[in-house]
Amino acid sequence: MEKLGINGGTPVRTTPFPLWPDFDDTERQLILEVLDSRQWWATQGTKVKEFERQWGDFHGTGPAIAVTNGSHTLELALLGLDVGAGDEVIVPNWTFVATAAAVLMVNAVPVLVDVEFGTGCIDPVAVEAAITPRTRAVIAVHIAGHPADMDALSTICKKHGLALIEDCAHAHGSSWNNQPVGTLGDAGSYSFQASKLMTGGEGGAVIAKNPDIAAKVRSFSDCGRRPGEWFYSHYALGGNYRMTEWQGAILLAQLSRFGAQQTIRANNANLLNEELALIPGVHPQSRDSRCTSQGNYCYVVRVDEKEFGASREAVRTALLAEGISLTMAYPTINTLDLFTDPAGFLPRVRSREGMQDFANLALPISQRLADETLWFTTSVLMGSSDDTRDVISAVQKVQRLAHTLDSGL
Ligand SMILES: Cc1ncc(COP(=O)(O)O)c(C=O)c1O
């Protein structure tokens, strides 16, 4: 009799998916070049500068500004767009904490709004409804690589004179109407943290089409300096957010194989989109026809517990036991202790005046997605089509045998 892995049966997968992050001798070679050159510092080295040029070319912009991580990139983008004390910044309630925390870090006020049910990205209607005379910017997050509705958001931001920042931490290689994400708003923010589609362990980059904004971001990221001027002149209040040459070297190697990896991920994600949607209770993230390429950091499905016949948590643990790698969905931002605990640690914010009552905020769609989604990790998308068929078989098997699970409904 067929048995689930979690109940002692043979798992669908007994061999692991491709390891992530991926690397080969290209990384090794470039790191050794940095080592031997003794130029480990980006200010004097060549690797970060070359990566900035290539990542800018990838987007059709001037050089990117490569920095420490994808949290600092958000802060730098906000600073580069003159967002500061008391300004309101509209952010989606379903994202990683950094999107909202960056707003607090520049002493501005995050205003949380709901997301669209199909894609999980910020809802333009909710954005427009949240605009006040104090609103200065909107941050769109391209969830699991699916771009937010950048047509509607751009129109709203233009109409109200707001800056539009794209948090592209999940969206390397995504495009909207054939235009790369990161270039659709005023500034694009990337993360190269370990789980991302390109990684230097840590790292981040800001993209800005407008050279004045790019110059400001660069200056803030480099102790308020201006390129080409005396090292000890500081024109603005900035910090040291510089990337190291080690990261620059690794990211150059990662970028060189990105296109080929992207094709593999896209093919596997298409197969999953077609097949998983046929399984009762499984609803893959929807795909807007204007999303012309999806970077696919992770792969997101929503589990309708009643239709599936088991709780989301039971499905998650059963899939893990079948050898399928999953991560937890983000909790909603308004439920994080940072925001709900009256004694919460908001170091640079003197009072909560003007802030939403986070604990009692009703943003039902983001809450539903946080409660109902499963996130398959990037490595699951990096195998062959046979590997992807194993993912499909595993979900089919768990659904077929849902009644044998403890939390079968
Ligand atoms: C949507 C989003 N924004 C920002 C970040 C922050 O990036 P980093 O971890 O590089 O600081 C992440 C990282 O996980 C993210 O997922």
What is each CA distance from 324 to 14, 175, 298, 370, 393, in whole angstroms? 10, 28, 12, 20, 11
- Span 69-98, pLDDT tens digits: 999 999 999 999 999 998 999 999 999 999
Report all structural domains of the chain as residue ranges with CATH numbers, in order of start. Answer: 25-256 (3.40.640.10), 258-404 (3.90.1150.10)
What integer is the mean pLDDT of 325-346? Answer: 87
* Neighbouring C-beta atoms of residue 158, cutoff 10 Å: 10
Catalytic (active site) residue 167 = yes
pLDDT at 350: 61
Distance 169 CA to ligand 1 centre (A): 5
Note the helical H segments in 150-285.
150-160, 211-221, 245-256, 258-276
Nearest atom, ligand 1, residue 202 CA: 10
pTM of the model: 0.97
Contacts of 130 (CB under 8 A, 6+ apart): 90, 111, 113
| Active site (annotated) includes residue 306 | no
- Asked if 231 is an active-site residue, the reply is no
Q: At residue 147, what are phi and psi to the nearest 5 degrees? A: -60, 145
For residue 378, the number of C-alpha atoms closer than 13 Å in the C-beta half-sphere is: 21
What is the position in ligand 1's atom list of the atom closest to the CA of 102?
A: 4
Asked if the model's pLDDT at residue 347 lies above 70, the reply is no
Helices within 67-123 (DSSP H only): 72-80, 97-105
Answer yes or no: are the C-beta atoms of 86 and 134 closer than 8 Å: yes
pLDDT for 54: 98
CB 67 within 8 A of CB 221: yes
State phi, psi for 161 to the nearest 5 degrees: 65, 40
Report which ligand 1 atom has the smallest distance to the Cα of 191: 10
Q: Dump pLDDT digits (tens) for 172-211.
A: 999 999 999 999 999 999 999 999 999 999 999 999 999 9
Tokens 């690797």 belong to which residue? 47
What integer pLDDT is reported at residue 345 of this predicted model? 66
pLDDT at 375 over 70: yes
- pLDDT-above-70 percentage for the chain: 98
Choose the catalytic residue: 59, 218, 242, 312.
Answer: 242
User: Which one of 89, 165, 191 would you pick to mutate in the ligand 1 pocket, going by the greatest count of ligand atoms within 8 A of its CB?
Assistant: 191
Active-site residue (options: 25, 36, 212, 232)? 232
Phi, psi of 43 (to 5 degrees): -60, -35
Cis peptide before 21 (omega within 30 of 0): yes
